[in-house]
Amino acid sequence: MRIAFTAPMKPLDDPVPSGDRTMGRLILRALQEGGHDVSVATRFRAWRKDGGVDMQVALEAEARRDAGRIARNWRAAGTPPDAFLTYHLYHKAPDWIGPALADAFDIPYVVIEASRAPKRRTGPWSHGFAAADAALARADRVAALHSADLECLKAVVPDDRLHICPPFLDETPFAAAAGSRSAPGDPLRLLAVGMMRPGDKRASYRLLAEALTLLDTRPWQLTIAGDGPCREEISNWFDPARTTFAGALAAADMPALYARHDVLVWPAIREAFGFVFLEAQATGCAVVGGDTFGVPEVVADGVSGLLSREGDVAGFAGNLARLIDDPGLVTGLSQGANANIAARHTLAKGAAQLDTLIRQAHTTHAARRTGDPS
């Protein structure tokens, strides 16, 4: 099928790396692997950091002009797509373009990754909230990436159009990465990966630093991969004798980095699911993390990693202590990490899930056109 794609949260060619950009690119690739012809219809970015009704009204006008331009091009070419797919939709990143084009060309509309915060119904984000709700109501299929988002969406999306699509990655370069784990008796090699920016990332680094101070008598070494405006502040929280700062690395260098470490350590404060957890497990890294939102759905607690309550310094430190004290547990979690990725999160499984989603959307769209509720 021909599928038009947009990502109103963050365009796929945005220069700033993030899990959101990575997941968007993987969705595009998985659809192509599934045999679909996918094109980016627009790189219009609806997301804004700060709210304001006037601002979002102006954004809507700009988006509708873009939709009009795309529609004219499609009509002139005589080859409109068979479906429109939007990745990552919520009140800060509503989609006015996809629903308008889906209606204009009578094609299915699909949303992958959406969240909904009813408290934004009023206030500075009210216009975006209403637009996101309208898009969700129009959608023929909506896929959440984890159960927490799924529950929030049930108020506006009927159950028969709502699904969970577990996040996935191209596991091949990670599974093939060459590296070495700690030898018996050596300090456990810990790895943290995350942008060093204000807000939740900074909070995660702070919790990690506090947890490690509780383990100062145990053998461990830490590598931190990441950079950003908070780097100087964050670097002062960690013992320089036991911490290596690798900076921001290219994506191609990440598999080998994971493979040289035993455990990914990331508190995941307010993380949707944490793409680094997938990458780490794909190389056979055990995980110590926080049980935020979708993290328990990508890290099998007790099988591929150990999870503690979000924000719990003592619990996080306790899980790390278990691994430092029990190398056999690290080995078992490493094996479980590989198995977890193979069972649920490979590119092939993502491609199959998305293909099913698109075909179900066509069935729903046809039924809605004829008024057949089945």
Q: What is the DSSP string of 18-61?
A: -HHHHHHHHHHHHHHHTT-EEEE--------SS--HHHHHHHHH
Burial of 76: CB neighbours in 10 Å, binned 0-12, 13-18, 19+:
exposed
Model confidence at 315: pLDDT above 90 = yes
Fold of 2-168+347-370: Rossmann fold (3.40.50)
Q: How far apart are CA 208 and CA 144, in angstroms?
A: 29
Q: How far apart are CA 201 and CA 57, in angstroms?
A: 31
If pLDDT is split at 50, 70 and 90, which confidence band does 181 have? confident
Phi, psi of 191 (to 5 degrees): -135, 130
Cα angle, residue 260 at apex, residues 15 and 220 outer, rounded to 5°? 110
Q: CB of 111 within 8 A of CB of 30?
A: no
Output helix, strand, coil percentages for the chain, rounded to the nearest 5. Answer: 45, 15, 35
37-40, strands of its sheet edge to edge: 37-40, 2-6, 83-89, 109-114, 141-144, 162-164
Q: Which is more confidently placed, 293 or 323?
A: 323
Strand positions, DSSP E, the chain: 2-6, 37-40, 83-89, 109-114, 141-144, 162-164, 188-193, 220-225, 243-247, 263-266, 286-290, 305-308
What is the torsion angle, in degrees rounded to the nearest 10, for the CA atoms of residue 44, residue 49, residue 53 and residue 59? -10
Percent of the chain with pLDDT over 90: 89
Q: Which is more confidently placed, 158 or 185?
A: 158
Q: Which pair of tokens denotes residue 289?
A: 């993390």
Model confidence at 374: pLDDT above 60 = no
As a whole number of Å, the CA-based R_g of the chain is 22
State residue 182's pLDDT score: 85
State residue 370's pLDDT score: 81
Q: Where in the chain is the domain with CATH 3.40.50.2000?
A: 2-168+347-370, 172-344
Centre a 10 Å sphere on the Cβ of residue 73 and count the other Cβ atoms it contains. Answer: 12
Q: How far apart are CA 147 and CA 136, in angstroms?
A: 17
If pLDDT is split at 50, 70 and 90, which confidence band does 372 have? low
Q: CB of 26 within 8 A of CB of 350?
A: yes
Model confidence at 289: pLDDT above 70 = yes
State residue 19's pLDDT score: 83
Q: How far apart are CA 35 and CA 33, in angstroms?
A: 5
Model confidence at 72: pLDDT above 90 = yes
Q: CB of 100 within 8 A of CB of 6?
A: no
State residue 373's pLDDT score: 52
Centre a 10 Å sphere on the Cβ of residue 74 and count the other Cβ atoms it contains. Answer: 17
Phi, psi of 338 (to 5 degrees): -60, -45
| Three-class SS state of 346 | strand
State residue 191's pLDDT score: 98
The model carries a pTM of: 0.90
Listed residue (314, 368, 323) closest to 107, CA to CA: 368
Largest separation between any pair of C-alpha atoms in the chain: 70
Model confidence at 187: pLDDT above 50 = yes
If pLDDT is split at 50, 70 and 90, which confidence band does 350 have? very high
State residue 196's pLDDT score: 95
As a whole number, the mean pLDDT across the chain is 95
Percent of the chain with pLDDT over 70: 99
DSSP state of 241: T
Fold of 172-344: Rossmann fold (3.40.50)
